[in-house]
Structure 1
Amino acid sequence: MKVKSLILASLAALTLNAAPEEQMNTRIFSLLKRANEKAPLENVIFSPYSMQQAIGMLNAGAKGRTAEQVNQVFGFSAESDNWFIKNHQELSPEKQKVFSNYNAVLFDRRLELKPEFIQKAGSVYHGKLMMTEFSKPAQVVQILNRIIQARTKGMIKNALSENAVNPDMIMALVNVLHFKDKWLWEFQPKDTSKETFISADNKETKVDLMFQKLDCNYFHDDQKKVHGVILPYKDTRFEMIVMMPKEKDGKISDLLQALSDGALPGWLKSANDKNETILFLPKMKLSVALDLSELLKSAGMEDAFSISNADFSGIVNEKVCVDKVLHLVKLDVDESGTEAAAATVIMVEAKAAPPKITNYFCADRPFCLVLRYKPTEAILFTGVINRLP
């Protein structure tokens, strides 16, 4: 039995005593680096939090070496469940209004799910169980597309094609999330102008470059030759971090290596708003669809994709394995703020005051971004923007 899906991903080496969020975030950046190496001229955008939840639900029923490999690739540990539970509590609709998250398990009526899987999918991931008939593929596609469109507030439509489901499939694990908020300090449309963006292949493109002077948190690492800005939203628990090489000939791959080595927490601690920052940031309207199957295999999650080696006996008695991992992300950034959405679907088939100095940050060439929830350090979205539009 196999598993198909829409998803996002992660990986890297860590110390044994690292906090769960540090483990998972470092591995996210390692996988982002790996994905960028495979497509260095394209935009790579993940929603790690979406992927972590969909894979987490799948991993709730993984056993033996299959579970070990998933844990290694995603940085899951015994503390991860409590981290997910804390996030679900803090990010509930009662406590904030800018972020929504939804998990579901669609399963064929002929299946008998294991009680321990049902318990963990519900208590840790708040997954809604939905019985349906996978013998009617068109109906399943319609249900999934309806869920994704509704839960992304219309940002992602027709996520799955008509042939995405076949009669042999027996289960779909789904995560959908959506974020929308205004900048704490909005850009003024009158200050936006057409400027040149130099893509990863050195091609020049005219883009809408937003501009403002502000006292935002700015950081720089002279050794790694990286600098970045931290832009808060109206709900200041959420923020976007934009990073890039300081030198025009700097490599985005070096920045990604530093992130994979765990540099981000140190950079964020060193950030300060003592000096004025001159900021240029492009408007973006991006849509990315990725098949991460080979990426996850190369990262070390081979057994999950092998019908001979996969062990998901904690979900069902039938022999199942992961068939495909796809991920859809949409990201809109303009003068007022940010709207972003992601969907992850896993289908199972049988067989994210010193002297005044002015900082200058102009994202007119490839850069990396992170949209995160500060209190738990959950990374909702991350990506490398190699070209625009």
Structure 2
Amino acid sequence: MKSALYFCLLLLGLQVQGKQGSNLNDEQQEQKISQSPDDYSQAEGENLAHVKIAPSNADFAFKFYKQIRDEVGNNKNIFFSPLSISIAFATLSLGARSNTLRELHKGLAFNLTEKEIHEGFQHALQLLNDPNREVQLDIGNALFIDDQVKPLQKFLDDVRNFYYAELISSNFQNPPEAVKEINKYIETKTRGKIVDVLKDLDRDTVMVLANYIFFKGYWEKPFSNLRTRDDDFLVDAKNSVKVKMMQQNANFNIHRDENLSCWVVEIPYKGNVTSFFILPDEGTMEQVEDSLLKETVSKWLHSLEKRNIYLDLPKFSISGTYDVKGLFEKLGVTEVFSDQADLSGVVEKPLLKVSKAIHEATVDVSENGTEAAAVTVIGIVGMSAHFHSPPHIRFNRPFLMLIIDKSTDGLLFMGKIVKPAAKED
């Protein structure tokens, strides 16, 4: 059977003027998440650290989605991993200070204390990486550090303790070799899904942070490939594309939102991960997108009813690349990219700022599951209803997709499918 795969990666390139410092020590080795969720069994309900961070992550996800939509337009595919971006910038925030830190927290929709933020991600990472889960889910971080730079010990301790980062000594004096090393790491962690993502490094780069998410699973109810047939997908009122349309007649959790004029269908994977496909009525996509809030999704989840339906869902493959720096600046996060950036919690000297941030993602959906990958690159530089008969829900026009880890309420991926076979640049 074809496996389902999700992957996210963040690269944080740190670049400085006038590098100082000494070699990294030898203790910086890969640190796997060894604590079990049972270590936190005393915590209950709202006191669970990951429960506190989940609403902030959802707020950021929907805010960022709308920013992408406004940037790329209504007729483009969208697919990204909000959790990857949140984890990456939360890790960076460990070294941010003053207004730079406040802007990052506001942009990421964090309304918690620093302790709650980092302990929330720490606990979420433990749950997500639990080896006893039925699904395979692996989330990790790596910090590549120039061997002539010595980050503050507290920063190194924090990225390891909260985000389980593997610390890797690298020679950024030889950029081609550093690029090769980082790309090899990425290719390995993504099981070959992401190859040669890093083309080059900005001058004087001294640090790269990589965050990845890998998920492998199967639909609880696979589609039979014997029922897959050619069909038309209506891109808009005037244009259509041919797709391979999967079909099945089974019981699914569904909800008809009459206020927003859309269908919501839950299609779970084996294990504790699920997906939601949202099908707006013709002409109502923008209305549904504008209403994407955690409160809306919560209402949908509480309104689901198990119904027998005829379901048509296209096999699709889409991808997208986004300038996270530009999108963040439009969200009001500007200082971390400017000469006023305060990342003094990373290294004492020299001063640092983020020079670029890029996110790339891809997804493939087929009869047996889903395969997806995402990459984010950040560079940091020195300053200068009831039914009488089974409804037939046909995803044969633009729709939305959410992939959620139910153990943490983490929104792993979200997107909009406008052209099922298109790969956006």
**What is the TM-score normalised by the length of structure 2?**
0.82
Change in 2 beyond 3 A, CA 1:166/1:84: same
Alignment of 1:268-347 (within 5 A): 268-273=301-306, 275-307=307-339, 309-317=340-348, 318-347=350-379
Asked if residue 89 in structure 1 is aligned to residue 89 in structure 2, the reply is no
CA contact (8 A) 1:27 1:75 kept: yes
Match of 1:360 among 392, 398, 404: 392
Query: 1:314-350 deviations in whole A, cap 9, x for unaligned?
Result: 1112211111111121211100111222233433222
Match of 2:153 among 106, 110, 115: 115
CA contact (8 A) 1:210 1:282 kept: yes
**Corresponding position of 1:155:** 193
Alignment of 1:100-111 (within 5 A): 100-111=138-149
Alignment of 1:6-155 (within 5 A): 19-39=52-72, 40-76=74-110, 77-78=112-113, 79-92=116-129, 94-96=131-133, 97-155=135-193
Unaligned runs of 5+ in 2: 1-11, 15-50
Match of 2:249 among 199, 205, 213: 213
Change in 2 beyond 3 A, CA 1:91/1:20: closer
CA contact (8 A) 2:361 2:373 kept: yes
**Corresponding position of 1:243:** 278
Unaligned runs of 5+ in 1: 6-17
**Corresponding position of 2:270:** 234
CA contact (8 A) 1:330 1:341 kept: yes
**Corresponding position of 2:292:** 259
CA contact (8 A) 1:233 1:239 kept: yes
Deviation at 1:262, TM superposition (A): 2.9
CA contact (8 A) 2:249 2:310 kept: yes
CA contact (8 A) 1:281 1:362 kept: yes
CA distance in 2, matches of 1:99, 1:71: 27
> Percent identity, aligned pairs only?
26
**Corresponding position of 2:26:** none
Partner letter of residue 316 of structure 1? Answer: V
CA distance in 1, matches of 2:237, 2:328: 26
CA contact (8 A) 1:244 1:366 kept: yes
Partner letter of residue 151 of structure 1? Answer: K
**Corresponding position of 1:177:** 213
- RMSD of the alignment, in Å? 2.0
Q: Which has the larger radius of gyration?
A: 2
CA distance in 1, matches of 2:247, 2:130: 33
- Aligned residues between the structures: 367
3-state SS of 2:226 partner: helix
CA contact (8 A) 2:13 2:209 kept: no
CA distance in 2, matches of 1:109, 1:355: 66
**Corresponding position of 2:35:** none
**What is the TM-score normalised by the length of structure 1?**
0.89
Deviation at 1:4, TM superposition (A): 4.7
3-state SS of 1:124 partner: helix
Query: 1:159-195 deviations in whole A, cap 9, x for unaligned?
Result: 111xx21341111111112222110000001111111
Deviation at 1:310, TM superposition (A): 0.8
CA distance in 2, matches of 1:354, 1:34: 36
Partner letter of residue 90 of structure 1? Answer: L
Partner letter of residue 183 of structure 1? Answer: W
Asked if residue 381 in structure 1 is aligned to residue 413 in structure 2, the reply is yes
Asked if residue 196 in structure 1 is aligned to residue 228 in structure 2, the reply is no
